[in-house]
Structure 1
Amino acid sequence: MYYSWLDRWDERRARRGEEGKETTGFILDADRAFPSEKIKSVGEFCARADQAATDLTFFDVPHGDDEGFETKDHWVTFQSDVPTDVAENNIVWAKVTGSASFDRALVIFHHWNARARNPQIASFFSKRGITVFEIAMPYHFERSRPGSAHADYMLSTNLGRTIESVRQAVCDGRKLIRWLRSEGYQEISVLGMSLGSWVAGLIAAHDANVAKASLFLAGGSLADMVWTGRATRSIRESLEAELELTDLRRAWGPLNLENHVFRLARPDLDLQFILAKRDKVVLPKLSEGLIRGLRGAGGQPQVLKMNCGHYSLGKLPYIIFAGLKAREFLS
C-alpha cells in the first residue's frame, strides 16, 4: 500500500515537471559539438562522436583566462571558456556556503530543470567542515535563457547543442575546481544529482584534482536515459521520428559514463552511488550497467540503493539516509 502511494506521488511529481516542456523538432547542429568540422548527416555525426568517446582530451578545459574570478557576498562568478550564443549562459555563478575549515571543498551539480539551489544540503555539509559551492549548470538559474520556461538548451532534441552544453558544464566545473586548488583547498569532491551526476561523473573521470565523487541517481548511457526516462518523453517523441536508439547512443557516446569507466576506476578516486530502486527517470538497469562496468574495470564503488523513486528520494526518510551516507563518505 505504501509503495503504491509512493509510486503515485512520483508520477504526480513527474507530471508537474512536464509543465512548460514542448515537443520541438530534431536538429543536428553538429558544429556546436564539433566546431569547424563539416558534418551534414546523422551518420557522419555518429562517426565523429565515436572518435570523441575515446578521445582523452575531449573534456579538457579550453585555454582561457583563469584570473577572472570574482567573489562577493557568498558568490563566485567567472567567464565560461565554452562560449555560446546566449550571453547570460556565458557567466558561471556558484553559491558559496562556508565552513570553519578551509581544507575541503564540495562542488554540487544540480538536476535538470532545477528551480533553485538547496540551502539545506549546503548547510548540512558546511556544518561538517566542508565548504560548499553550488554551481549553476548551463541554462539554469542566473544562466537561464531569457524567455525560456525550462532548461531546454541543456538537454534537448538538438544533438550538437546537448553535447556542447554538457561539455560546457564539465569545463566550467573543472575551471572552478582548478581555482579552488589555487585557493588552497586540499581535498575537492563533487556531488551530482540526476543529470548533474553525469556532469560530476565526467569531471571526476577527467580531473585528477577530484578526490571523491558522490553520484545521486546516476546511470551510464545518457541516450538510454532520455529514451526510457519518465522526465524526457517529449524529447524522445521528437527524436524517434528521425533516428533509432542505436544512433542516439553513438551520437551521445562522449556523454556515456560507461565509456569512461577506466578513468573513473582510477585508484585515487573514491566513488559513491546513491540510487532509487523504483526510479522511472533513470531506470535501475542503467545504473546497474554502469556499476558493473566500473567493477569490471577494477573500481570499488560504494553503492546505496533505497526503495523509493527518483523524486521521492528527496522525501523523508530517504533523504535523511542518503544525506547521512553521503556525509560519511565525504567526511
Structure 2
Amino acid sequence: MFAWETALTTRDTNRIVRPTEWGFDWLPGFAGEADIAQELTRSTSENLERMIAVSDAITQRSEEFYGYQTPTDFRLEEHFPLLYPTNVRPETLAEDAELKRQAAVGDLERAPFLRFTSPVRTRYPENDVVNARWYPAPEHKDPRRPKQAMIILPQWNADAFSHNALCTLFNRFGVSALRLSKPYHDVRRPQELERSDYAVSSNIGRTMAACRQAVVDIRSCLDWLESQGYEQFGVLGTSLGSCYAFIAAAHDPRLRVCAFNHASTSFGDVVWTGQSTRHVLAAFKQAGLTHEDVRHVFAGVSPSAYMERFAAHPKRALVVHATYDLTFLREFSLEVLASFKQFGVDYVSKVLPCGHYTTGETPYKYIDGWYLGSFVYQAFKQLREQQATSREQDAAIKAL
C-alpha cells in the first residue's frame, strides 16, 4: 500500500520548489508596516519571530481574521462545466481537450454556478470571483420539511469535477449542494499556474490568506443559501478542504453537519511530513526552518487552535482517516479524534484500509463515498427530527 501511495504522489512532474517568502504583505491588519517593509532586510530568525507573533495574533483575534461582510453581488450563472486540470498527464489533457471541443460545438450542457466577489481580496482578479457549482435538490412534497444544504470542498489541486458525484448523491437525499472552488483552484487559478500552488506554498502569508479567503467564502455561501430559504447546513471537506471546513464550522454555528474526509490538527505538521508537500518542505529546509518553526507559523490556520470554539456549538461530525496515509499521517488523525473526545464533540470515526491518494482508487472510493453519504443522510435526518420535535413541544406549550 505504501508503494502504491508513493507511486500516485510522484506521478505528477509539475510541482515547483519556490523560494521561501514570509508574505507579511498578505496579512494586513495583523502584520505591521515594519514587518512588510523590512522583510527582505531582516534575518531569518527575526522574520520567524515576527511571523510567529502574527500567527498568534490571528489565533487570538480569529473572529476578526475570519470575519467578513456579506457580498452584495450574488448571482447564478450558466457555464460549461470544464475540467481545469492540474496535471499534465496525457490522458488528463485529452479529457480536457474533449470537453473544450464539446463546449465549442454546443455538445456540452451548461450548468448553474453561484458566483460572487469574495470579501477577501487578493492581487489575482480571477481568484477573487467565487465559483460554486449549484446542485439544487428537487422541492419536497412536504412543505414543512426544512430546506437543507451542504457545501463541498474537494482536496488540494482538485480539478473542477472532483466530488461532483457526492453532490448528486446528496440530492437524492433531498439535500442541495454547493460544490465550492477553493481559492486558486480550477476557474479561480491564475493563468501563470499549472497547479493550485498558491493555496499552499512556501509563501507563508499567502498560504494563511488563502485559508482566510476559503473560510470567508464558505460563510458567504451560507448567507446566500439562507437568502434562498435554506435552514439547516453542513460542510464536507477533503484533505486541505477539511482544514478549511473545520475552521469555518468553528467560527460559524450555522454549520451543524460536518464531514472531514482526512483530517489533521496542525497545518504545519502536514506540510512538514506529508508526501503532497515535499516541494514546499524543500523550500523551508533551504531557508533553515525546522518542523517546530513551521508548526508555529501556521498555528493561525490550524484546526488545533480552534478545537474549543468548534465544540462550543452543537454539531454532528464525521472523521474519515486512512490507515496507510502518507500525507495526513495516521497519528495526526488520531489526535483529532482524541481532541473531539476531550471536548465532548458528537462524532463518528471511520477508517479506510488505504492511503490518502489511494482513497480515490477502486474499491476505496466507493467505501469512502458510503461513509460520507450515509453520515450526511443520517445527520440531516436527525436535524429534521429534532426540529419537528421542537415544533411539537412549542405547539403543546401554546395549547396549555
**TM-score range, shorter-chain basis?**
over 0.9
- Which residue among 55, 72, 76 is the counterpart of 2:61? 55
1:166 aligns with 2:211: yes
CA contact (8 A) 2:166 2:373 kept: no
How do residues 1-331 of structure 1 correspond to structure 2 at under 5 angstroms? 6-17=1-12, 19-35=13-29, 37=32, 38-39=34-35, 40=39, 41-64=47-70, 66-73=71-78, 74-101=112-139, 103-118=147-162, 119-242=164-287, 243-331=289-377
Quick one: which amino acid aligns to residue 22 of structure 1?
I
CA contact (8 A) 1:59 1:206 kept: no
Deviation at 1:295, TM superposition (A): 1.5
- Normalising to structure 2: TM-score of the pair? 0.78
Deviation at 1:318, TM superposition (A): 2.1
Q: Secondary structure in 1 aligned to 2:279?
A: helix
Deviation >6 Å, runs of 4+:
none
Name the stretch that deviates more: 190-199 or 120-129: 120-129
Deviation at 1:267, TM superposition (A): 4.5
CA contact (8 A) 1:94 1:134 kept: yes
Deviation per CA, 1:166-219: give whole Å up to 9, x if none: 111111111111211121111110000100000001111110111111000111
Quick one: which amino acid aligns to residue 154 of structure 2?
H
- Normalising to structure 1: TM-score of the pair? 0.93
Name the stretch that deviates more: 73-82 or 263-272: 263-272
Deviation at 1:126, TM superposition (A): 1.3
Which is richer in helix? 2
List alignment gaps of at least 5 residues for structure 1: 1-5
Q: 1: distance between equivalents of 2:56 and 2:72?
A: 35
Deviation at 1:9, TM superposition (A): 2.5
**Total equivalences in the alignment:** 324
List alignment gaps of at least 5 residues for structure 2: 40-46, 79-111, 141-146, 378-400
Q: Secondary structure in 2 aligned to 1:25?
A: coil
Deviation per CA, 1:136-189: give whole Å up to 9, x if none: 101111101112111111100001000011111111111111211121111110
Deviation per CA, 1:34-72: give whole Å up to 9, x if none: 4462324220110121122232414433235x3200113
1:14–1:318 Cα change, 3 Å: same
Deviation at 1:306, TM superposition (A): 1.4
Quick one: which amino acid aligns to residue 61 of structure 1?
G
Deviation at 1:311, TM superposition (A): 1.2
Q: 2: distance between equivalents of 1:185 and 1:294?
A: 28
Quick one: which amino acid aligns to residue 66 of structure 2?
D
Q: 2: distance between equivalents of 1:59 and 1:209?
A: 18
What RMSD over aligned residues (CA atoms) do the two structures have, in Å?
1.6
Q: 1: distance between equivalents of 2:152 and 2:197?
A: 21
1:285–1:317 Cα change, 3 Å: same
Quick one: which amino acid aligns to residue 57 of structure 1?
E
Q: 1: distance between equivalents of 2:69 and 2:135?
A: 29
CA contact (8 A) 1:138 1:154 kept: yes
Q: 2: distance between equivalents of 1:13 and 1:220?
A: 24
Q: 1: distance between equivalents of 2:77 and 2:291?
A: 45
Q: 2: distance between equivalents of 1:59 and 1:211?
A: 22
Deviation at 1:316, TM superposition (A): 2.7
Deviation at 1:226, TM superposition (A): 0.7
